């Protein structure tokens, strides 16, 4: 894809592009927003270097792509900004160094996430994104046939019995907040993208079990499918600078924030755009099992 409004510079072979020549703090035209959205759908994650955005401007930019959610279903927002999740690692937030797609434990996970770099380590603290569409395309045909039929339960609940010995008190306290309301949702393992029509693996760190299979069977199958998502050729790695903005399609990616920066400060702020109900290849929609997401997605509460 090309645009007459900005330059598109691919960052890796299968995912990721930097958009050059756009000031996100300016009053962007509908045509520019349309081209940014098309670039997002094609490249899955897009980057804007050294932007001059504050929290209010970040929310305003996100609103050009749809309704904005509250910061998180369970974790408190940035004071004065109910839509902004403040991730101040090392001070108030726990490091999310695992592969995941944002908030898949609710029935309508975000369409996309917009992350703004506030404070970045001198070395380390990169983020990696993976293309779940190319991962699905890489599957051998017989594995695709299996994945096409599978549904998985996603939840924000943890296995505390397993983790009780190894978790720090700080992490236990954070998880208590994170799971203050437990959500469970049944999602298709293969999701059809509502804009591109592409099929992608819709799994990640919040998957707890595949419907109809034992925990052991589920773990083995998810581990196999996940190995295709995280193959290096399906990923892109971004080295942050202060002011950078990353915008990813939450319907077609997973990501991993690398916790390799020791005690250095790392602070980023995230805004999420409300999404729709995921759809399987045979047209069935995701189903909420436990938890009401209407407070997280204000448009549902209004309806």
Q: Which residues are catalytic?
A: 100, 102, 255, 270
Structure tokens at 22: 């756009």
* Alpha-carbon separation of residue 241 from 48, 99, 262, 291 (angstroms): 10, 22, 18, 37
Look up tokens 């309704």; give the residue: 67
Q: Where are the alpha helices (DSSP H) in 18-125?
A: 30-43, 55-62
| DSSP letter (8 states) at residue 93 | B
* Alpha-carbon separation of residue 162 from 137, 182, 203 (angstroms): 34, 18, 22
CB 44 within 8 A of CB 200: no
> Which helix (DSSP H) or strand (DSSP E) does residue 172 occupy?
helix 169-178
Pairwise CA distance, residues 83 & 68, whole Å: 7
Residue 51 makes CB contacts below 8 A (sequence gap 6+) with: 23, 24, 25, 116, 243, 244, 245
Q: Where are the alpha helices (DSSP H) in 190-255?
A: 215-229
113 burial type by CB count under 10 A (0-12 exposed, 13-18 middle, 19+ buried): buried
Pairwise CA distance, residues 73 & 180, whole Å: 9
Pairwise CA distance, residues 143 & 149, whole Å: 10
Look up tokens 């900005």; give the residue: 6
């Amino acid at each position: 894809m090309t645009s007459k409004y900005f330059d598109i510079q691919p960052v890796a072979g299968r995912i990721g592009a930097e958009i050059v020549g756009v000031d996100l703090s300016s009053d962007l035209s509908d045509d520019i927003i349309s081209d940014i959205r098309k670039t997002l759908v094609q490249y899955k994650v897009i980057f804007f270097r050294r932007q001059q955005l504050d929290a209010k401007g970040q929310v305003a930019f996100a609103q050009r792509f749809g309704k904005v959610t509250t910061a998180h279903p369970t974790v408190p927002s940035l004071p004065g900004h109910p839509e902004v999740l403040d991730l101040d690692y090392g001070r108030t937030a726990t490091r999310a160094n695992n592969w995941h797609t944002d908030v898949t434990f609710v029935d309508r996970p975000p369409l996309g996430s917009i992350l703004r770099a506030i404070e970045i380590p001198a070395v380390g603290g990169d983020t990696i994104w993976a293309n779940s569409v190319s991962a699905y395309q890489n599957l051998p045909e017989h594995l695709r046939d299996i994945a096409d039929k599978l549904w998985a339960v996603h939840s924000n609940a943890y296995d505390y019995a397993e983790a009780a010995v190894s978790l720090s008190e700080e992490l236990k306290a954070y998880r208590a907040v994170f799971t203050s309301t437990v959500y469970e949702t049944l999602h298709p393992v293969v999701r059809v993208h509502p804009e591109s029509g592409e099929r992608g693996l819709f799994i990640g760190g919040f998957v707890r079990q595949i419907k109809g299979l034992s925990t052991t069977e589920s773990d083995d199958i998810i581990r196999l499918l996940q190995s295709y998502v995280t193959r290096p050729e399906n990923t892109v790695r971004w080295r942050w600078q202060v002011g950078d903005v990353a915008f990813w399609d939450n319907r077609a990616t997973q990501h991993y924030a690398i916790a390799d920066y020791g005690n250095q400060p790392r602070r980023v702020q995230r805004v999420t755009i409300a999404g729709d109900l995921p759809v399987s290849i045979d047209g069935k929609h995701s189903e909420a099992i436990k938890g009401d997401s209407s407070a997280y997605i204000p448009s549902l509460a209004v309806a």
